[in-house]
Structure 1
Amino acid sequence: MKLLRYGAAGAEKPGLLDSEGKIRDLSGVVGDIAGDTLLPDGLAKLRAIDQATLPLVEGDPRLGPCVAGTGKFICIGLNYSDHAAETGATVPPEPIIFMKATSAIVGPNDAIEIPRGSEKTDWEVELGVVIGKTAKYVSEDEAMDHVAGYCVINDVSERAFQIERHGQWTKGKSADTFGPTGPWLVTADEVEDPQKLAMWLEVNGHRYQNGSTATMVYGVRYLVSYLSQFMSLRPGDIISTGTPPGVGLGLKPPTFLKAGDVVTLGIEGLGTQRQVCVQG
C-alpha cells in the first residue's frame, strides 16, 4: 500500500493511493497514519479493505508528511562510502547517529525555508525507514519485522551551522522545513529489497545526486537492530539512512541553495518530492 496524509498543514487526513493513482480517504477507517495504524495488525486491516469502496478525494490536495506522531527522527551520517569521500571524511567503524528535530518535518512539496544567516543550506536525498512495531534489543534476523515501510526524505542541512559552529550536528539539521517526508509511506511488503533502490536529486533541473541504496555501508536490517540496542524504536519513528554523493558541500566549488531554487528528488518506487526554496 501507499499510505499518505493530505490537507492543510496541521489538519491532514489519512488516505491511500489506489491502483489508479487516485487518493482515497481513510478518515472513516483510521484516525491517522500513526500509532496503532502502523502495527502489523493495523496494516493488515487496511490491506483487507476494498479500495474502491473508499471515498475518492477530488482535486489535487496538498500532501502532508506521510506519517504522523513521529517521536524520534533519527539520522545516520556518512553511510555511503562515496559520499564520505567527497566530504573528506572516512567511513566510520560504527554508524554515526544524530537527531533531527521533529519540528523540521513537512510535506514532500512544501517550501524549504533558508534560515536567517544561512549561506550553506544543502540537500540530501535519503531513504526513510518508518518503524511499525516497537523494537528494543532486536537481532538483525528480527529487525525487518519492525519496519512498517519506507519513504523519501530530503535531509536538508545547513553546513556552517552543522560543521563550523562546533558541537553536534543537530543544529545544522533541524531548522523548520528541513525534513520533507513523503509523498507516501510505501508498506514494506511492496518493497522487495530496500537495498536495491535507485535514488536521485536535482536542483533547477540539474542532476546532482544519482545513486542507489545498494551502496549503503550499513543497511536497513543492521541499522534497525543497531539502534534498538541504544533506544526503543516506536511506531512512527523515522530513520533517515544517509545520502549518496552529489551534495552541495562536496562540489567544486561548493554549491548551496538560495531563495528561488527548485529541488526535485525521488527514490525508485517511493515517489518524488518538489520544493521551492524561500527566505526564512
Structure 2
Amino acid sequence: MAVHPEGAPCWADAMVRDTEGAKRFYGEVLGWTFGEASSEYGDYTEAYADGKAVAAVVPPMPGQEDRSQWCLYFASEDAAATADRIRDNGGRVLMEPVEADDFGTLCLARDPGGVLFGVWQAGRHEGFQATAEPGACCWAEVFTREPEKSDAFFPAVFSYRAKRMEDVEVDFRVYDLGDRSVLGRMRMTEDFPPEVPSYINVYFAVADCDAAVAKATELGGVLRSGPMDTPFGRFAALSDPQGADFSVIDLTATRGKTPAFTDVP
C-alpha cells in the first residue's frame, strides 16, 4: 500500500488507562484481533481487522493521563516541517517529532482550540492497511467549540480546501485534500456537556450499526446519540467504558438526500 498523501488521516490509536480492557471491548465491538504488546514502545499494541492493521491501543502519553481518548494522525512527508507549521499557525506541539526506530516519526499537537491530533512521517509503518471496511476507520470529524480557529488552522497546516454545508441550522464543514474529502469539522453545541473538551471523533465501519451499539452498551460503553440514518450511512456515537469517544457506521445503509456544500474562499 502506498504511503498516505501529506495531510491525509493515516492512523489512529486509543490512548487508554486499561489497555487489556480496551482490547476486550474493541475486540468484541469491532471484531479486532491484536498483536503482541511492544514494551519497547510503551506497550503499544496494534489492532487488526481481517488481518490488516487498522489502529492501536496504548497507555496515555506523559501529560495526557487525564482522560482516555482516540488520537487521529495525519500523514507528513517531513514531521519537523509540519511541527513548524503547527506553531506558526497558533497550534501547540506537545511532543516534538521523535523517531520510533525505523517505523516512522511521531509528533503530537493541539490546534489553537485545544483539539488533540498526531502527525506521522511514515517509515516501515505506513499507517492504515485498510479503510472503509468493517472494523476499519472510514471518517473523522473535528468537534470544536471554536470552529473559526480550526477553520484557519487545519487548511493552513495541511493545505486543505474547505467547503461548508448549506444547512443554516448546522455549522459543519468538510476539508478536502485534492479531489477527496478527508476530514469534517462540526461546531459543538450546548448538547455537549461543558466538561467535554474539543476533540476529533473517529468513525469505524461496521456491518450492522445496531448490533455494534448493542454489543458496546452490553460491555459497558455509553450510547451518546443514534443510531440514526443519514445519506452517508446509519451511525451512532459512543463512548467506550473508559470514556474515549468514537462512532460506528454502516456505510451500506444510506438513506436520504446528500446535502449540498459550497466552497469557502
Same fold (TM > 0.5)? no
Q: Which has the higher contact order (CA 8 A, sep 6+)?
A: 1
If the length of structure 2 is used for normalisation, what is the TM-score?
A: 0.28
Q: Which has the higher strand share?
A: 2
